[in-house]
Amino acid sequence: MSRTQRNALIAAFFFFLMPVLMMLDHRYGGHLRHVIEQSTYADADFQKYHRKTFTVLEVIDGDTIDIDIPDGKHEDTRIRLIGVDTPETKHPTVGLMYYGPEATEYTTAQALGKQVTILLDPAGDQRDRYGRLLAYVVLPDGRVLNAELIKNGYGYAYLSFPHSEFVTYQYLMEQAIAEKIGLWQNATRDDLPKWLRSKRPELLRYKN
């Protein structure tokens, strides 16, 4: 191939193929890079946290804690308990929800200052949109805090995202509702978070 032909091919690449590649990258490349980054990040998180034991330094609210290991630029790692949602206490727009303080007090009594084991779930994401680590938190006596919150009526089975305990946690919530445990004893439909009212439109609608 002559130099002239080679230069012509290079020019054709830049003037014809390059715009196509840029369009594809704009449309699909971001997602692909995100998948690759998340996969790499997930592998690192599994090596760093999965089945490891840490001390709970702070309880943010019922479903969020800090453990004693640095996470990037942060001195501690923030854990968002997977599969459970507790009533808000510090949300900037929702404010204080019914049974929020009780849920925070329960998590504080169960976990603060204690050694807990972190379990990650390969069936779902390892981080939420805020960068918090999604995990099951195993208490020193072997109970899983995520499940205990739902079982004892301090939180709701989170129905918006898949995870390995999805069916089990739904069952635990149904049992708590049926037995009127914790928040389910006096909660009204308006006390429930918007996402739960959307997912379960019949829930507490006809409460006696």
Is 104 among the domain residues? yes
Q: What is the CATH number of the domain that holds 178?
A: 2.40.50.90
Could you tell me if 99 and 195 are in contact, meaning their C-beta atoms sit under 8 angstroms apart? no
| pLDDT score recorded for residue 36 | 36
Tell how far CA 157 is from the center of its chain: 12
Q: What's the rounded mean pLDDT across residues 142-164? A: 96
Task: Summarize pLDDT for 15-37 with one digit per residue, the tens.
Answer: 454 444 344 444 544 443 333 33
Q: Which two tokens stand for residue 55?
A: 């001390």
Q: Rounded distance, CA 121 to CA 51, Å?
A: 11
Of the residues 80, 102, 165, 200, only one is catalytic, namely 80
Percent of the chain clearing pLDDT 70 (strictly above): 78
Asked if residue 205 belongs to a domain, the reply is no
Q: Which regions of 68-160 does DSSP assign to beta strands (E)? A: 77-81, 84-85, 115-119, 133-138, 156-157
Give the per-residue pLDDT at 10: 45
Q: Is residue 206 assigned to a domain? A: no
Using 50, 70 and 90 to split pLDDT, how confident is the model at 151? very high
Considering the domain architecture, whether residues 114 and 174 belong to the same structural domain is answered as: yes
Instruction: Please tell me whether residues 134 and 175 are part of one structural domain.
Output: yes
**pLDDT confidence bin for 132, thresholds 50/70/90:** very high
Q: Give residue 43's domain range.
A: 1-49
User: Is residue 88 annotated as a catalytic residue, yes or no?
Assistant: yes
Residue at 164 is within a domain: yes
Burial class of residue 118, CB neighbours in 10 A (0-12, 13-18, 19+):
buried
Calpha distance 148→6 (Å, rounded): 68
- Asked if 159 contacts 199 with a C-beta cutoff of 8 angstroms, the reply is yes
Query: Is 102 an active-site residue?
Result: no
Q: Do residues 116 and 136 share a domain?
A: yes
Residues 109 and 60 placed together within one structural domain of the fold: yes
pLDDT at position 89:
87
pLDDT for 107: 98
Give me the catalytic one of 27, 78, 88, 202. Answer: 88
Q: Which residues contact 34 (CB under 8 A, 6 or more apart)?
A: none
In-domain check, residue 180: yes
pLDDT band at 5 (very low <50, low <70, confident <90, very high): low
132 is catalytic: yes
| Domain count of the fold of the chain | 2
Query: Does 43 share its domain with 102?
Result: no
28 and 129 share one domain: no
- Torsion-angle region of 96 (φ positive above 0: left; ψ -120 to 50: alpha; else: beta): beta
Answer yes or no: do 36 and 71 share one domain.
Answer: no
Question: In this structure, are 125 and 164 located in the same domain?
Answer: yes
Looking at the structure, tell me whether residues 21 and 116 fall in a common domain.
no
pTM above 0.85, yes or no: no
43 with 119, same domain? no
Q: Catalytic residue, from 132, 148, 165, 200: name it.
A: 132
pLDDT category, 144, cuts 50, 70, 90? Answer: very high
Dihedral, CA atoms, 34, 37, 40, 46, nearest 10 degrees? Answer: -70
Q: What number of other Cβ atoms are within 10 A of residue 35's Cβ?
A: 10
